[in-house]
Structure 1
Amino acid sequence: MFDTHVDTMYVWVAVGAVSVAVFGVVTQLPTSASPDGAAVATTIDEVATSPSGSVTTRELTASDWSLTGRQVGLRSTGGTVHETLLRPAVPATAGRLRTVLDGTPPSAVYGSPAAFRQATEAARTDGVQWRTAPDRMTVRRVVWGGVDVTLVG
């Protein structure tokens, strides 16, 4: 009546193995959610399709971001997401493009629309894949002298 069954040892070993496996899966789960790339892409698209001079800001929960033509990427400890944009956008993280993004008219910063166009084309092809993400992203649509661009920074 009080004898141990032979099967008891096998059950304890199996329960222990399953517990170790479950613990391994749980410790590999991300500790936070991935960034909301769809909301960021929607914000950029809304400004890109709005009238000239439109501007908006959005808080970012990502640690890094990338903008390559028609794709925005966000990366954090929770994962990496990429979203496609309706229209191309230009990263404006430093220099004179950042000044235009912050609200200064391009005519006050650049000598001609051709110089402004050249600066936006250079920013599109600067080769930087990932940048440190700001706490708040600004998006502005600028139209000047035939140059129609959406700046993001």
Structure 2
Amino acid sequence: MFETHVDTLYLWVGLGTVSVAVLGILVGLPTTAPPDATGAAATIDEITTSPAGSVTHRGLIADKWLLTSREIRLRNDGGTATARLIRAVVPARTDQLRTVLDRKRPAVVYDSPDAFRRDVRAARNTDADWRPAPDRLTVRHVAWGGTDVTIVG
């Protein structure tokens, strides 16, 4: 009366199949959350709308990043996140811009306001590519010799 061996075999095969499927789904899930590009963009936008001389820092949890004048993209094992910026920024792609980003006055780094303006223009027009992400994002609003920019690095 209680002997349903054929049904038991189907039950075990079905249970095994479901278990393997669930295990496959769990293994395929990312182990970390995607990076917070929106938060990084909000930090950048806050400084672009602040007075010249404003500086801030923000920790980044990402393996790679791509920064253009109007967009930031962050990538890690959890995925890729993109956020648009309110105003155009200048990626700190040259040693001189990185020095200005690190709180040196442009007058100390550049020979003239025109040299600063040319470096800013070149940094904006350089093609962006994925680079290793820094642990900390630095944003500085700089105005000198008629050039008013926000440098990000």
RMSD: 1.3
Q: Which amino acid aligns with 1:16?
A: G
Per the normalisation by structure 1, the TM-score is: 0.94
Give 1:94 deviation, angstroms: 4.2
- For residue 62 of structure 2, what is the aligned residue in structure 1? 62
CA contact (8 A) 2:65 2:131 kept: yes
Q: Which aligned segments of 4 or more residues in structure 1 are displaced greater than 6 angstroms? A: none
Per the normalisation by structure 2, the TM-score is: 0.94
Matches within 5 A, 1:7-18: 7-18=7-18
Q: For the residues of structure 1 that align with 2:50 and 2:130, how far apart are their CA atoms?
A: 27
Secondary structure at 1:31 match in 2? coil
Out of 35-44 and 90-99, give the one that drifted further: 90-99
Q: What residue ranges of structure 1 are gaps of 5+ in the alignment?
A: none
Number of matched pairs: 153
- For residue 126 of structure 2, what is the aligned residue in structure 1? 126
Give 1:144 deviation, angstroms: 1.0
Q: 1:102 and 2:89 equivalent?
A: no
Q: What residue ranges of structure 2 are gaps of 5+ in the alignment?
A: none
Q: Deviations 1:50-98 (Å, cap 9, x if unpaired)?
A: 0000000011111111111210011111111010000111111441110
- For residue 152 of structure 2, what is the aligned residue in structure 1? 152
Q: Identity rate of aligned residues, in percent? A: 57
